[in-house]
Amino acid sequence: MDNFLLAWIVLVPLLSSLILGTMYLYSIKVTKIPNIVFSMFALTAPFISFVLGVSFFFRLLENSDVIIYRAYKWLSVDGYDIDMGFMADQLSIFMVLFITFVGGLIHIYASGYMKDDDGYGKFFFYFNLFLASMLLLVLANSPIIMFIGWEGVGVCSYLLISYYYQDSENVKAGNKAFIANRVGDLGFIIAMITMFYYAGSNGFDYINLELGMANVPVEVLSFIGLALLIGAIGKSAQIPLFVWLPDAMAGPTPVSALIHAATMVTAGVYMVARFHFLYDMIPNVGLFIAYIGAFSALFAAIIATKQTDIKKILAYSTMSQLGYMFIAVGLGGYSAGIFHVFTHAFFKALLFMGAGAVIVALHHEQNIFKMGGMRRKTPLVYFTMLIATLAIAGIPPFAGFFSKDEILLTAFGSGEYFIWIIGVITAVLTAYYMFRLLFVVFHGSNYKENRELHSLSKNMTMPLVILAIGSILAGFIGVPLLLGGQNYIGIWLEILNSKALHVEHSIELYLMGLNILAAVIGLLIAYKKFFNYDMSKVPEYTGLIWNKFYIDEIYDRIFVDKLKKLSIFISYKLDINFIDKIVMGISNGFIRSGNVVARLQSANTRMYAFSMLMGISVISTYLIIVMR
């Protein structure tokens, strides 16, 4: 049928980005192209992809069979074919829908946010290239094609983080993101190659890999699972590869919203869900994933409580929420994990965009303690941010409540009470640091009463409203049966074979109450400390938490410094003083015995070249005559 349209979901943003890139170069080299022309190409791409995604959604609704489109033979070696193939199943299309929807809104927002930037065209070139990569990642039908998107996402985030490249700090942040992601990619590649040899004999697409893995020894499967996990950790900024995410806030705020909230970082969660057939067979590795998630969630939440930069608080909250998702997918609750990916996309994009609006209004101020009183100045931003904060804190009936509840239920139902407790503590902290942000920025007394606010365009506020509606409604696709709802998302993602939970209804109800209580406790503490915060005194933070547990410094000491020293040792000492001496010594001795040394050292290049040729000819002739 029209399966080829699957490829067009990726191709549309890709083509749009190529057009934008060419136009941008033309614009700076020849004649200036107005922003509106760039916008036309930029903003239509996610829209078209979304519409295509919807059409595939309805096809899957009618007939749940996987739709596969093979565009061409990507590589064929030794009779082994790898196709440039696309796959639409319930998981990938679900991802496509919210990536393009939320992505589209962020595009609109960015068209307002970036409107005075010289690199408007370049920005959307990167943006759509990013979108195309992310969609390829999701729609690929084999790990290797997924990897193309996976790395594309990485490089685009590099480009976008170091967008203001003239400041070397921003580029360093970009480098850090790229390298940390590459450490993850190392794991991904090792996993792919092991899979290829052990499970890939019938083909390298997911369906064949699933069949192929049936007979692979469990130790090998665990190895593959762990190596893949490294990839997931790198992309999704979990312990220990999270260091890039806070620094990644160096990019423009729409970038943070798109990449570091709604899409890129969720790729790791998606990957684990995509390989559910693998992780189902190795529950121990799954448990390990859940622990990594739990500790990342708690760790990030603790750091977030003491940050003052509005974007960094949100960055750590992203890491923390991703931790929840890892708990879910690690314990086999794939649909719960993806559900949280979905709700998180709405409220986190909204939080970032709201933060961006405040930052723009205050002329690029990012310290929350220098804001204050924004409730009256920007009521719309306040109202939408309030909804998002309620959602992320897990207050019913906002979106985050349902998904987080399902994750914690999964942890409890699996008997992993330790993880469950960490999850609940993190929920308290989440509500605390999010309401701290909200109260300080919007309620606190005005830091500087009479300052002129930068105006916000419609392009920037309209997406906020839509996402606020999303943050209210998104949770209702997964209302637990207990509350008389229907877990649509669980049904839709049936193919993932998420673990069935057997928790008694009364206990489930208690747990739910406990989650709400946790959120309320966090809210109340924040209320007490920060609701009427005196903004004249900016708190001085010091100590372990403020310094993010010195992780960056430790990494620098252990890896970066050592590697630099080794590099200097090799290139300036070992090579010059040792290896070169030996090799040159041998060769000099060799040539000296050939008795042409006097000529060689005459340092006359032409003479030298001539003598070399002559020497060789003479030696050849001599040898030929002698050996006759």
Contact present, 350 and 468 (Cβ < 8 Å): yes
Q: State the nearest-atom distance from the C-beta of 169 to other proteins, in Å.
A: 9
554/619 with CB nearer other proteins: 619
> Given the complex with other proteins, which of 61 and 75 has the nearer CB atom?
75
Instruction: CB nearer to other proteins: give 481 or 612.
Output: 612
Closest by CA position to 113, among listed 214, 298, 257, 216: 257
Cis bond upstream, residue 46 (ω within 30): no
Q: What share of the chain is helix, strand, coil (3-state, %, to 5)?
A: 75, 5, 20
Tokens at 350, concatenated: 């909204």
Distance (Å, whole) CA 175 – CA 252: 16
Among candidates 407, 394, 422, which has minimal Cα distance to 523?
394
Contact 347/388 with Cβ under 8 angstroms?
A: yes
CB 483 within 8 A of CB 405: no
Q: Whose Cβ is closer to other proteins: residue 245's or residue 329's?
A: 245
Closer to other proteins by Cβ: residue 190 or 520 = 190
Question: What distance in Å separates the CA atoms of residue 293 and residue 340, rounded to the nearest whole number?
Answer: 13
Q: How far is CA 552 from CA 236, 243, 265, 493, in A?
A: 17, 7, 20, 39
Distance CA 371, CA 358 (A): 8
Q: How far is the CB of 598 from other proteins (least distance, A)?
A: 13
Work out how close the CB of 23 gets to other proteins at its nearest, in angstroms, rounded to a whole number. 13
Residue closer to other proteins (CB basis): 546 or 555: 555
Supply the minimum distance, in Å, between the C-beta of residue 305 and other proteins: 33
Nearer to other proteins, 140 or 355 (CB): 140
Q: CB of residue 95 vs other proteins: minimum separation in angstroms?
A: 19
Query: Residue 136: which residues within 8 A CB-CB, separation 6 or more?
Result: 10, 145, 146, 148, 149, 152
Residue with Cβ nearer other proteins (481 or 576): 576
Q: Whole-angstrom distance between the N-terminal and C-terminal Cα of the chain?
A: 75
- Say how far apart CA 427 and CA 602 lie, in whole Å: 79
What are the residues facing 82 on neighbouring strands? 75
Q: Which is nearer to other proteins, 488 or 559 (CB)?
A: 559
Smaller CB separation from other proteins, 182 or 529: 182
Query: Considering the complex, what minimum distance in angstroms separates the CB of residue 137 from other proteins?
Result: 11
Burial 482-519 (b: 16+ CB within 10 A, else e): eeeeebebbebbeebebbebebeeeebeebbebbbebb
Query: Cβ 111 to other proteins, closest distance in Å?
Result: 22
> Tell me, what amino acid is at 295?
F
Least CB distance to other proteins at residue 303 (A): 26
Rounded to a whole number of angstroms, the minimum distance from the CB of residue 446 to other proteins is 36
Query: 540 — alpha (psi -120 to 50), left (phi > 0) or beta?
Result: beta
What's the min distance (Å) between Cβ of 168 and other proteins?
4
Instruction: Pick the closer one to other proteins by CB: 454 or 564.
Output: 564
Least Cβ distance, residue 10 to other proteins (angstroms) = 12
Q: What angle do the packed helices 218-235 and 143-161 form, to 10 degrees?
A: 20
